[in-house]
A = this chain, B = another copy of it.
Amino acid sequence: MAENANALVGDTASLSINIQGRDEMVIVTARGAARELSRELGFGIVDQTRVATAISEIIRNVVQYASEGEVQFRVIEENGQPGLEMVVVDQGPGIADVERVLRGGYSTGNGFGRGISGARTLMDDFELQSEVGRGTRVWMRKWLR
């Protein structure tokens, strides 16, 4: 496994993909990027779908509440285990009650209020930082089993 991970990790190239358009165009673009990357990494179809759904939830919040943002994808490795790290940052209005949002079922829009809590369940590691008036940062990881 360590050998395999070595083959996956490594910063040999970097690309910035910019997309401007209607909310759903932005969401599907990020989702396609995440799905294809997790497929290439060797994730099975269910984990690919988990990753694509999680990024979909978080990017939907970005386009809805902050209208612009940034995602960072990184192939990682810990103790010989490869994984995918996704960090999503926006400079939007921020979230006042992070605890409540993490518990789920709370929405200021007309959603289910299951976006953030759902993404957290779908990923292995999840951290949400937010400051009102400053913005929001979501950090997520999924490990290849």
Interface residues of A (CB under 8 A from B): 8-26, 28-37, 39-41, 59, 62-63, 67-75
Contact = CB atoms under 8 A, between A and B. Distances in A.
A74 to B, nearest CB: 6
A70 B16 contact: yes
A29 B73 contact: yes
A48 to B, nearest CB: 10
A69 B10 contact: no
Contact of A8 (B13, B22, B73): B22
Contact of A36 (B13, B21, B32, B72): B32
Contacts of A68: 13-15
B62 A22 contact: no
Given A15-B59, A30-B33, A35-B36, 12 more contacts: A11-B20, A13-B21, A13-B23, A14-B18, A15-B19, A15-B69, A15-B70, A16-B18, A16-B69, A17-B71, A24-B40, A32-B37
